[in-house]
Amino acid sequence: MISREVAQNLQNASWIRKMFEEGDRLRREFGSENVFDFSLGNPQEEPPAIVRETLAGLAAAPPKGMHRYMSNAGFPETREAVAEAISCEVGTDFPADCVLMTNGAAGGLNVTLRALLDPGDEVIVLSPYFVEYLFYVRNSQGSPVVCPTGHENFLPRPEKLEEALSERTKALIINSPNNPTGVVYPDEVLGKLSDVLAAAERKTGKPVYVISDEPYKRIVYDNIRVPEIFNIFPNSVVVNSYSKSLGLAGERIGYTAVNPQAQGAGELVEALVFCQRTLGFVNAPALPQRLIQKAATAQIEISGYQAKRDLLYGALKKSGFRCVKPDGAFYLFPATPGDEMDFIRSAQELNLLFVPGRGFGCPGHFRISYCVDEGLIERAIPVIEKLASRHF
């Protein structure tokens, strides 16, 4: 018999995966060209030239011991390259010993939560949220507390954060640009959240750590700037991944960076290194670390994503859907007309696959991932219009 908790979680497994599996079934039945699968956020853009060139160079002339174990925190050269990139972003020198290379952002989040949480500690999660956050918190025996954003713009509301805080609050997870909405949280809003957390810390005498999950930070449009978390929240940890920015989702490479101004920063870094080892990650993959040494500041070409956003957003608005225009990432999160699951089933009847908003803690919406071929979007638009005619 498997774990009761896992058995229960299997019943509530990711809606993204459920819809992806439904897509496989429909493709077998109707053919790939007749199925419009917008369920999975699997990066489509190929890695930039510097990644391919570095990989070819490593294959042709590998450094001695390239595939051996290294420090649990990662190769010193890689940590230094990441720290230099962070320094350019935040406008001040960032120490390499505050950087830990991780198995993607997911590995970084799990390591960070394990390092911070005692059983029963609370972690505030802003909804809509990435579907796995609640599981990650529970993995470390924490208790997730869902705090809703405003559905008219999906921005955090300071008064709601204040209501969600308690004596047991240990952390707040922020995800901007956000999955599933694509919204970027502006400086003004984050500054108000910082004021709320500072007041709570003065009251309890304990820090509330802001964990900023930033895999989409470099995929932003219309000259939008993503605020620097380290410059706003003293007690902060940034978790990032090269899955989206470099198109390396399958390589599982990312990092966790601790604000050197955070309370107990040195101890927290030591805890991260310990948890990296004892959770079984041991270290981030060696070969991708070598790539990041050369490509820490590189990124994919995002103009294609922006064009797809504009094409699909325009079609949705024309068809009558209410939708906040994304600032970044590669998702749209429209409101459903009428009952959410009735709408999702109606879409499936037309071989359109969307992810219901309840999977992100936000019923009454649905997520569309537009990291797909532009041709698929163009073929899907008349089908989306047909779907809209059923519901408006």
Residues contacting 153, CB < 8 A, separation 6+: 183, 324
Q: What is the pLDDT of residue 151?
A: 86
As beta bridge partners, residue 100 has 256
> Using CA atoms, how far apart are residues 330 and 377, in angstroms rounded to an integer?
13
Q: What is the pLDDT of residue 94?
A: 98
Residues contacting 36, CB < 8 A, separation 6+: 350, 351, 352, 353, 376, 379, 380, 383
Q: What is the pLDDT of residue 12?
A: 61
Q: Are residues 331 and 369 in contact, defined by beta-carbon separation less than 8 angstroms? A: yes
Residues contacting 201, CB < 8 A, separation 6+: 207, 208, 235
Q: What is the pLDDT of residue 46?
A: 93
Q: Are residues 198 and 238 in contact, defined by beta-carbon separation less than 8 angstroms? A: no
Q: What is the pLDDT of residue 41?
A: 85
Q: What is the pLDDT of residue 40?
A: 85
- For domain 66-295, is the CATH number 3.40.30.10? no
> Using CA atoms, how far apart are residues 232 and 11, in angstroms rounded to an integer?
39
Residue 288: both structure tokens together:
């991708």
Residues contacting 309, CB < 8 A, separation 6+: 182, 221, 325, 326, 330, 332, 370
Q: What is the pLDDT of residue 13?
A: 61
- For 344-350, the CB contacts below 8 A with 24+ separation are 346/387, 346/390, 346/391, 347/387, 348/22, 348/26, 350/36, 350/383, 350/386, 350/387
Q: What is the pLDDT of residue 10?
A: 67
CATH of 4-47+301-391, one of 3.40.50.970, 2.40.128.720, 3.30.70.20, 3.90.1150.10: 3.90.1150.10
Q: Are residues 69 and 245 in contact, defined by beta-carbon separation less than 8 angstroms? A: no
Quickly count: other Cβ atoms within 10 Å of residue 261's Cβ.
11
User: Would 4-47+301-391 and 66-295 be classified into the same CATH topology?
Assistant: no
Q: Which parts of the chain sit beneath pLDDT 70?
A: 10-17, 20
pLDDT digits (tens, 9 = 90+) for 9-23: 766 666 666 776 777
Cis status of the peptide bond prior to 215, with omega within 30 of 0: no
Phi, psi values for residue 210, rounded to 5°: -90, 120
- Nearest Cα to Cα of residue 294 among 102, 7, 52: 52
DSSP string, 28-97: HHH-GGG-EE-------SPPPHHHHHHHHHHHHSPPTTTTS---TT--HHHHHHHHHHHHHHHTS---GG
> Using CA atoms, how far apart are residues 148 and 82, in angstroms rounded to an integer?
33
Domains of the chain by residue range: 4-47+301-391, 66-295
> Using CA atoms, how far apart are residues 222 and 303, in angstroms rounded to an integer?
10
